Amino acid sequence: MGDATSLATVGLAVASLTALWLAVGFFFAFPSWWNNVLYSVTSSITLVMVFVIQHTQARQQAATQRKLDEMVRALPAANNRLIAVEEAASDVELENLADSNLDHRKQAETETQQ
């Protein structure tokens, strides 16, 4: 669905349907039920689009994370414990890795000052 929504023809189709919706509304002088239908349709479409956007963002984030994991794996001096760290079993493990990274940073700062 992500590929379909990025096409210009889909945007034109949505704009055409909106124009048709308004034309029919003007023709029938916007009956009282018109607002109810409009609110229901727009709410439903909004709800569906929220899930589509969330799904797309989750896929992109997962792909980015796999790419970063591959970069860590490719560097010989990198800490391989950082691969898939987002799926760590506990917060303690994450804190230990953060402390280790801070130690490396302090060591690097000390080396650059010398």
Give the global pTM. Answer: 0.57
Position 77 pLDDT exceeds 70:
yes
Give the burial class of 69: count Cβ atoms within 10 A of its Cβ; 0-12 exposed, 13-18 middle, 19 or more buried. middle
**Domains of the chain by residue range:** 84-114
pLDDT in tens, 31-52: 888 888 888 988 998 999 899 8
Cα 28 from Cα 68, distance rounded (Å):
57
User: How confident is residue 26, by pLDDT bands cut at 50, 70 and 90?
Assistant: confident
Cα 88 from Cα 107, distance rounded (Å):
25
CB atoms within 10 A of CB 34: 14
pLDDT in the model for residue 33 = 86
